Amino acid sequence: MPTASYDLHLHTCWSYDATAEPEAHFRRARELGVHTIAITEHHNIDSWEEVAAVAGDYPEVRVVRAAELTVTTSVGNVDLLCYGLPVEPPSALAAVLTEYHDWQRRAGSTLSAGLQALGCDFSDDARRKLLQTYRPERSIAFQGVTHVKNGVLRGYLIEQGWAADEDDYHRLMKQVREQVTPPPYPAVDRVTSAVHEAGGLVAIAHPPQYFLNDDRARMDRLREECALDGIECAHPNVDASLTSLYREYCRTHSLVSTAGSDCHDTTQLEERFAQHGGPAEWLDEFLERIIQR
Ligand SMILES: [Zn+2]
């Protein structure tokens, strides 16, 4: 696949499940001649200061301020890419972002409580130590003792002997959910209205899992319920035939089409940065829409 000139879905170590340093994205963009990127942290905008500081050394790389916010909808949890956010979030968006910070710590402490109820000694302190194995201290200091990346948690539980293997890990997690109720993600309406009020665009991320590939009724329902401005038509989890189908759907409903690699670490940066297959014209439409809002 040819390298695109942009990548609108990237994570840094300010996302609970990612390890790439902000500058790694800029270095890779420079190497590959990628001129526009969006850093879309899970549930926060905490990397913005560092990203802005690094961006000064890479004037040829434009950065779109963004975040990937997971919301509760009538059909379950959905990841929404929110683009074109202002440097200073207005009060409604600031409140939503505070809610996500709380959510991350509550999700973590609920996990600890659930495992402890099953006799596994996974205290908040043990969770902090596990986070310290892959997250920089500055992210933990700022965000607190959050939930843990799936693969890291699985490895740890197997290593502790609390789960025998991957299947057993899923069984254990099911038991955890019988002990404790994880906090729900913030409600879709509150999040999308705060993003829109702040002048941002909302695009549904890696849509096959939410659209049941190409279920029109589901697409219409989520387009309305999530007040979508766009769809991530190209992503490693979207095959080429779905990409064209989603692009057609965007044209029918005047939505923007976005594309991103969803890189979380340096290996992925090497392997798939800007390798999404989205054409350059999508970016022009996208940038125009951001400026209009
Ligand atoms: Zn993502």
Domain co-membership, 118 together with 69: no
Q: Reduce the DSSP state of residue 73 to 3 states and report it.
A: strand
Q: What is the pLDDT of residue 33?
A: 97
CATH number for the domain spanning 72: value is 3.20.20.140
- Residue 252: CB atoms within 10 Å: 8
197 CA to centre of ligand 1 in angstroms: 23
The answer to whether the CB of 123 falls within 8 A of the CB of 116 is yes
**Are residues 70 and 190 located together in one domain of the fold?**
yes
Q: Choose the final residue of a domain: 155, 179, 203.
A: 179
Summarised one tens digit per residue, pLDDT across range 183-199 is 999 999 999 999 999 99
Q: Under 8 Å CB-to-CB from 37, ≥6 apart: which residues?
A: 6, 7, 8, 10, 25, 26, 29, 61, 62, 63, 64
Cα of 261 to ligand 1 centre, how many Å? 8
Query: pLDDT at position 1, please?
Result: 84
Q: What is the pLDDT of residue 53?
A: 96
Protein residues placing their CB within 5 Å of the ion ligand 1: 68, 262
Other Cβ atoms less than 10 A from the Cβ of 265: the count is 17
Using the mean position of ligand 1's atoms as its centre, give its distance from the Cα of residue 245 in Å. Answer: 21
Q: Distance, CA 92 to ligand 1 centroid (Å)?
A: 23
Residue at 239 is within a domain: yes
Q: Tell me how far the alpha carbon of residue 161 lies from the centroid of ligand 1, in angstroms.
A: 31
286 in the same domain as 216: yes
User: Cα(227) to centroid of ligand 1, in Å?
Assistant: 19
Residue 20 has pLDDT above 80, yes or no: yes
Sign of CA dihedral 99, 188, 236, 33: negative
Confidence of residue 245 (pLDDT cuts 50, 70, 90): very high
Is residue 208 assigned to a domain? Answer: yes
Let me know whether 16 and 150 are in one domain.
no
Give residue 37 CA to ligand 1 midpoint distance, Å.
13
pLDDT in tens, 37-46: 999 999 999 9
Q: Domain residues for 154?
A: 97-179
pLDDT over 80 at 21, yes or no = yes
User: How far are the Cα atoms of 113, 117, 182, 244 from residue 123, in angstroms, in the given order?
Assistant: 7, 11, 16, 47
Q: If you measure from the C-alpha of residue 215 to the centroid of ligand 1, how many angstroms do you get, rounded to a whole number? A: 22
pLDDT of residue 293: 59
* pLDDT higher than 70, residue 157: yes
CA dist., res. 182 & res. 174, Å (int): 12
Residue 1 in domain? no
Task: Specify if 248 maps to a domain.
Answer: yes
Q: What percent of the chain has pLDDT over 70?
A: 99
Expressed in angstroms and rounded, the spacing between residue 118 Cα and the centre of ligand 1 is: 31
- Judge if 160 and 215 occupy the same domain: no
In a shared domain, residues 92 and 198: yes
* Residue 137 within a domain: yes
- Residue 40 structure tokens: 């879309």
- 69 CA → ligand 1 middle, Å: 9
For residue range 112-155, list pLDDT tens digits in order: 999 999 999 999 999 999 999 999 999 999 999 999 999 999 99
214 Cβ contact partners less than 8 Å away, ≥ 6 residues apart? 242, 245
Give 218-231 pLDDT, tens digit per residue: 999 999 999 999 99
Q: What pLDDT was estimated at residue 292?
A: 63
| CA 68 to centroid of ligand 1, rounded, Å | 6
Indicate the residue among 163, 179, 195 that finishes a domain: 179
**% the chain with pLDDT above 90:** 98
Both 192 and 251 in a single domain?
A: yes
Residue 177 confidence (pLDDT) above 80: yes
Residue 47: which pLDDT band, with cuts at 50, 70 and 90? Answer: very high
Q: What is the mean pLDDT of residues 250-273?
A: 98
* Residue 136 placed within a domain: yes
Average pLDDT value over all residues in the chain:
97
User: What is the pLDDT, as a whole number, of residue 107?
Assistant: 97
Q: What is the DSSP letter of 15?
A: S
Q: Give the helix, strand, coil percentages of the chain, each rounded to 5.
A: 50, 15, 35
Q: Determine, yes or no, domain membership for 209.
A: yes
Confidence of residue 275 (pLDDT cuts 50, 70, 90): very high
- In the chain, the number of structural domains is 2
Same domain, 192 and 282: yes
Q: Write down the pLDDT at residue 175.
A: 96
Secondary structure E strands in 31-61:
36-39
Task: Identify the DSSP state of 21.
Answer: -
pTM of the model: 0.96
